[in-house]
Amino acid sequence: MNRYAVPAEPISIQDVHTSPPLVPSKPFADSSRLAPGNAFFPPPPPRLHAEAETIARTVSEAPTAGSSSYDRRRKRDKDRGRSGSRRGKGEWKKLLWVKQPKYPDNYTDPPTFLSHLQRNPRLQPYDFWPLVADSTVIVQHLASVTIFVCCFVGINREQFSPVSMVSLGSAGTILGWVLWDFWVGQSEAAKMTSRSAITNALDLRNEEPDYRSNRKPDLDHSRPASRSGETSGLGLTLVPSDPAHKHHYQSTDHLFMSPISSELSSASSTTNPQPVASFSTSMSPSPGYQSPTNILSQRNQQRLTTMKSAVLIYCVLHGLSPILKSLTKSTSPDSIWALSTILMCINILFFDYGGGVGVKFPASLSTNAALMSSTVLASRLPSTTHVFSLTLFSIEVFGLFPVFRRHLRHVSWRGHLVLTLFLVLGAGGVSGITLSKNGGWQAMILGMLFWSVGAALGMGGCSWWLIGLQRYKNVVVGPWDPARPVIRGGGWE
């Protein structure tokens, strides 16, 4: 038996054998602790004050919350497995290797049983106004879908002229593009200055030729991101705003092409996709390690390619419109309405509401569903001009507008709110006009009123509802859950 008296482990089997028996006579009196009974009795009704307490604590501890919970957790982790040795002799130990004949196998130790169980460990109580603010994204998308559908109805009923609609849309798109181009330029300039600052500070210039020499042109679309990550992984964390810059940076060459080229390829799937491919490869000279003097010509080159692809889309659509017009001639209108409704629902459900500016292909399912829906709808229209206008409009609304919205939200919150307001009013106005019989301005005002009130009520009500539902959240976490491995990520390169 002496063999067990190892300095690291003060308890020995002998101790357990000789100790007096402890009968678990004490019921689970401590109400703050989880008793075994909690496992099979229904949980107590949700306590509002507890929730408030949590919120208060989170607020008061906000700066240190992360570290303190980590400490607590670490302490608890340390206790595990060692709890036996800390407690007095003869007490039950939560260990398997100690034979404890004084305790039956089904003995349940009240202080330790389920002592590592946590409920809702990562609960983040929602606040009302941030929720409402976040829901504006959904409202924006709903409004733009409504505007599109109403425009279709208007064209179909010959209430609107398709040419005026598409000119309006195109004007808006060009305006948006100019703005977007401006923002990208700004962020790139900021990026360049910070980058040159780093480069000068750490004198990493001599590494640049290396990167250039082994860069493969066809891999470039994936390279810049990883390379910039690499650079920051070299210990260049002294720039606090680096991740944000990286986002912008990625967006410069990806966002630029992706909407247009993807739209083009999906819209013109019947034609040869070769020009698109050549476009995206011609885009490839990445601005990764260009010197600041080079950037202007680079940007101009990008602008040029955008123009080119815009013209290409325009021409291809023109060519395709007659085909599209006769696409669903043999299908009955009922199934067209049903199909396009379903596709629009898919678009709304799968839209990437949370995506930031750096998303490469935001929710391709959603975009493709919307474009297919608009194609099918367009094929119902009487003339080629109609078809062309509606398809172009749908590309603008579903392909390019979300990119702009995302960027606007990133750049200016005020602008985002204003845009939301405009969209809500616009959706209300257009739906008022299309729903009324003759479509006067009264109907428009009424529609705007309805939409504004509805949007406000919906945003407020849903947020309030979600906050109310949160009290039913009951996540149980304990040592049985698979641990999340923490890997520093250095193991691969």
Partner 1 sequence: MPYNIAMVSDFFFPQPGGVESHIYQLSTKLIDRGHKIIIITHAYKGRTGVRYLTNGLKVYHVPFLVIYRESTFPTVFSFFPIFRNIVLREEIEIVHGHASLSSFCHEAILHARTMGLRTVFTDHSLFGFADAGSILTNKLLKFTLSDVDHVICVSHTCKENTVLRASLDPLMVSVIPNAVVAENFAPLGYHKTGSNGALGVYPGAISPPPPRPLGPNDIITIVVISRLFYNKGTDLLIAAIPRILAGDPNVRFIIAGSGPKAIDLEQMLERRVLQDKVELLGPVRHEEVRDVMVRGHIYLHPSLTEAFGTVIVEAASCGLYVVCTRVGGIPEVLPQHMTKFAKPEEDDIVAETGKAIASLRANKVRTERFHDQVKMMYSWTNVAERTERVYDGITGALSEEDFYGDNSGNSWSATRGRAGVQSFALIDRLKRYYGCGVWAGKLFCLCVIIDYLILKFLEVWAPRADIDIAKSWPKKQTHVIRVEDEEADEPGPLKSTSVRSFRDYALRRDKRP
Q: Which residues bind partner 1 (CB under 8 A)?
A: 1, 3-4, 6, 8-9, 13, 23-25, 27, 35-37, 39-41, 77, 80-82, 85, 94-97, 99, 104-108, 113-114, 116-117, 475-476, 478-492
Nearest to 154 by CA among 454, 438, 452: 438
The Cα–Cα gap between 188 and 183 comes to 8
Cβ atoms 172, 422 nearer than 8 A = no
Q: Shortest distance, CB of residue 104 to partner 1, whole angstroms?
A: 7
Distances (CA, A) of 222 to 215, 227, 284, 308: 11, 9, 10, 23
Q: Shortest distance, CB of residue 7 to partner 1, whole angstroms?
A: 8
Q: Shortest distance, CB of residue 469 to partner 1, whole angstroms?
A: 18
In the bound state with partner 1, the residue whose beta carbon lies nearer, of 87 and 221, is 87
Distances (CA, A) of 350 to 48, 125, 263, 354, 399: 34, 26, 17, 11, 14
Cβ atoms 357, 406 nearer than 8 A = yes
Nearest to 145 by CA among 411, 361, 340: 340
In the bound state with partner 1, the residue whose beta carbon lies nearer, of 38 and 271, is 38
Structure-token pair, residue 406 = 């995302």
Q: What DSSP string runs through 258-318?
A: HHHHHHHHHHTTTS--HHHHHHHHHT-S--TT--GGGHHHHHHHHHHHHHHHHHHHHHHHH
Structure-token pair, residue 58 = 């989170």
The Cα–Cα gap between 373 and 363 comes to 16
The Cα–Cα gap between 66 and 61 comes to 9
Chain centre to alpha carbon of residue 160 = 36
In the bound state with partner 1, the residue whose beta carbon lies nearer, of 89 and 318, is 89
In the bound state with partner 1, the residue whose beta carbon lies nearer, of 108 and 159, is 108
Nearest to 166 by CA among 433, 386, 429: 386
User: What type of residue sits at position 133?
Assistant: A
In the bound state with partner 1, the residue whose beta carbon lies nearer, of 13 and 153, is 13
Q: Shortest distance, CB of residue 483 to partner 1, whole angstroms?
A: 4
Q: Shortest distance, CB of residue 481 to partner 1, whole angstroms?
A: 5
Q: Shortest distance, CB of residue 111 to partner 1, whole angstroms?
A: 13
Q: Shortest distance, CB of residue 207 to partner 1, whole angstroms?
A: 21
Rg value, the chain, Cα: 32
In the bound state with partner 1, the residue whose beta carbon lies nearer, of 178 and 486, is 486
In the bound state with partner 1, the residue whose beta carbon lies nearer, of 116 and 247, is 116
The phi and psi torsions of 81 (rounded to 5 degrees) equal: 80, -20
Q: Shortest distance, CB of residue 365 to partner 1, whole angstroms?
A: 22
Q: Shortest distance, CB of residue 213 to partner 1, whole angstroms?
A: 21
